[in-house]
């Protein structure tokens, strides 16, 4: 249900914003369809699709069998015929079962057919830890897909971006993967009414600062902002950049910030090794921004282990506000 702030701004939860985006797209474009396991009457594993089957019918909100490879393949085929499917994985981890269709088919067909065909499919992927879902249902694998030419990979951090980036993804002729952190679904924020597009490939400076740059995505944006607030009380000014898009990545915004602050920390929930932080670090090292660095680049990622089931271990395995704050303090004071 919609709510209004004291300033008259409309407030929705992250999941409500996604549902509204899908409803707007389906009302405006009859080629938009939804597919996925239990997305109809049940409303999806995280209740994001809720009443959409009642509004648009089972011909456009289609429950698929428990076969991610088959469901994703049908979605890719539907996109090739002129439809605009949104395929929901119950957990992002299950996309591993559909790698053939995502990586070998959807990502490559426009190239292999000389631009004569496009694959306008959107994959929605609930991701991340923090729900006690253990090692096979809590991973952050967005960097895997960022490695694949032909895919766009998004990580909206706010309800406003969740809606705007989904609408942008539907307007894109190529396959787009949207990783939605499970802990964000209940988060509320200002969401404009009607249809609007949040640009793909454009990062956003969520907080300006002068002493160090913190680049983060998804839920880590909020943890970085809280850490930056705490650091400000100590006189440390942290600039926080919301990546929003992993591929394409907004090098310009990141490099400009590094030139200003002279220090860089990248925070991400994926395993530290071979992750988003490694790509951003290399990007900076290969640019003129490297000459502006006053300290080594710091990566803060998940432990090199499967996500634990135990809640204390699960929390310890991925960056939290406290660990971001401590690492940023060391970086600002040149203790790294």
Residues of the chain with CATH 3.40.50.920: 204-332
Q: Which CATH number fits domain 12-190: 3.40.50.970, 1.10.10.10, 1.20.120.140, 3.40.50.1220?
A: 3.40.50.970
Pick the closest to residue 73 from 35, 118, 19, 130 (CA basis): 35
Token pair belonging to 286: 């290969």
Bridge partners of 238, per DSSP, are: 212
Contacts (Cβ under 8 Å, ≥6 apart) of 34: 22, 26, 49, 52, 56, 60, 61, 62, 85, 86, 88
pLDDT band at 9 (very low <50, low <70, confident <90, very high): confident
Q: Tell me how far the alpha carbon of residue 334 is from its chain's centroid.
A: 31
Token pair belonging to 274: 């071979």
pLDDT band at 336 (very low <50, low <70, confident <90, very high): low
Q: Pick the catalytic residue: 16, 20, 137, 181? A: 137
pLDDT averaged over the chain?
96
3-state secondary structure of 118: coil
Peptide bond into 248 cis (omega under 30): yes
| pLDDT of 246 strictly over 70 | yes
Q: What is the pLDDT of residue 3?
A: 66
Count Cα atoms within 13 angstroms, Cβ side, for 284.
Answer: 30
Contacts (Cβ under 8 Å, ≥6 apart) of 30: none
Mean local confidence (pLDDT), 40-63: 96
Q: What is the pLDDT of residue 177?
A: 98
Pick the closest to residue 30 from 80, 97, 75, 84 (CA basis): 84
**What sign results for the dihedral spanned by CA atoms 170, 171, 177, 182?**
negative
Q: What is the pLDDT of residue 312?
A: 96
State the Cα–Cα distance between residues 99 and 95, nearest whole angstrom: 6
Give me the count of residues in the chain. 336
114-151, pLDDT tens digit by residue?
999 999 999 999 999 999 999 999 999 999 999 999 99
Mean local confidence (pLDDT), 301-327: 97
Helices (H) and strands (E) in the chain, counts: 12, 15
Q: Pick the catalytic residue: 16, 68, 142, 160? A: 68
Residues of the chain with CATH 3.40.50.970: 12-190
| pLDDT of 264 strictly over 70 | yes
State the Cα–Cα distance between residues 258 and 205, nearest whole angstrom: 12
Answer whether 141's CB lies under 8 Å from 97's CB.
no
Residue 58 sits at φ, ψ, to 5 deg, of -70, -15
Burial-class residue 229 by CB neighbours within 10 Å (0-12, 13-18, 19+).
Answer: middle
Angle at 179 between CA 34 and CA 11, to 5 degrees: 80
Contacts (Cβ under 8 Å, ≥6 apart) of 236: 211, 212, 328, 329, 332
State the Cα–Cα distance between residues 331 and 261, nearest whole angstrom: 11
**137 labelled catalytic:** yes
State the Cα–Cα distance between residues 19 and 48, nearest whole angstrom: 6
Token pair belonging to 24: 């707007």
pLDDT band at 1 (very low <50, low <70, confident <90, very high): very low
**pTM of the complete model beyond 0.85:** yes
Tell me whether strands 188-190 and 10-13 are parallel, antiparallel or unpaired.
Answer: antiparallel
Pick the closest to residue 171 from 199, 142, 146 (CA basis): 199
Answer whether 243's CB lies under 8 Å from 193's CB.
no
State the Cα–Cα distance between residues 134 and 149, nearest whole angstrom: 30
Q: Which CATH number fits domain 204-332: 3.90.1640.20, 3.40.1170.10, 3.40.50.920, 1.10.150.120?
A: 3.40.50.920
14-50, pLDDT tens digit by residue?
999 999 999 999 999 999 999 999 999 999 999 999 9
């Amino acid at each position: 249900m919609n709510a209004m702030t004291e300033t008259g701004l409309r407030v929705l939860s992250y999941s409500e914003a996604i549902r509204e985006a899908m409803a707007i797209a389906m009302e405006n474009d009859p080629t938009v369809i939804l597919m996925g396991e239990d997305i109809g009457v049940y409303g999806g594993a995280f209740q994001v699709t809720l009443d959409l089957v009642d509004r648009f019918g089972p011909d456009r909100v289609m429950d698929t069998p428990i076969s991610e490879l088959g469901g994703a393949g049908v979605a890719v085929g539907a996109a090739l015929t002129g439809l605009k499917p949104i395929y929901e994985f119950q957990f992002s981890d299950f996309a591993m079962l559909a790698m053939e269709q995502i990586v070998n088919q959807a990502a490559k067909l426009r190239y292999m057919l000389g631009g004569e065909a496009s694959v306008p499919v959107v994959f929605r992927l609930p991701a991340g830890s923090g729900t006690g879902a253990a090692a096979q249902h809590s991973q952050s694998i967005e960097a895997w897909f960022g490695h694949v030419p032909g895919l766009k990979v998004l990580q909206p951090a706010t309800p406003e971006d969740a809606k705007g980036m989904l609408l942008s993804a539907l307007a894109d002729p190529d396959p787009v993967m949207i990783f939605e952190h499970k802990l964000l679904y209940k988060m509320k924020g200002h969401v404009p009414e009607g249809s609007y597009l949040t640009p793909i490939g454009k990062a956003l400076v969520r907080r300006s600062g002068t002493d160090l740059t913190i680049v983060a995505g998804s839920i880590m944006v909020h943890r970085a902002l809280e850490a930056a607030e705490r650091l400000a009380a100590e006189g440390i000014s942290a600039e926080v950049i919301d990546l929003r898009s992993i591929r394409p990545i907004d090098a310009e915004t990141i490099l400009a910030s590094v030139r200003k602050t002279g220090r860089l920390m990248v925070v991400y929930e994926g395993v530290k090794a071979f992750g988003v932080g490694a790509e951003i670090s290399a990007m900076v090292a290969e640019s003129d921004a490297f000459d502006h660095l006053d300290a080594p680049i710091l990566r803060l990622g998940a432990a090199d282990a499967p996500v634990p089931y135990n809640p204390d271990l699960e929390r310890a395995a991925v960056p939290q506000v406290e660990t971001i704050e401590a690492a940023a303090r060391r970086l600002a004071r040149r203790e790294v």
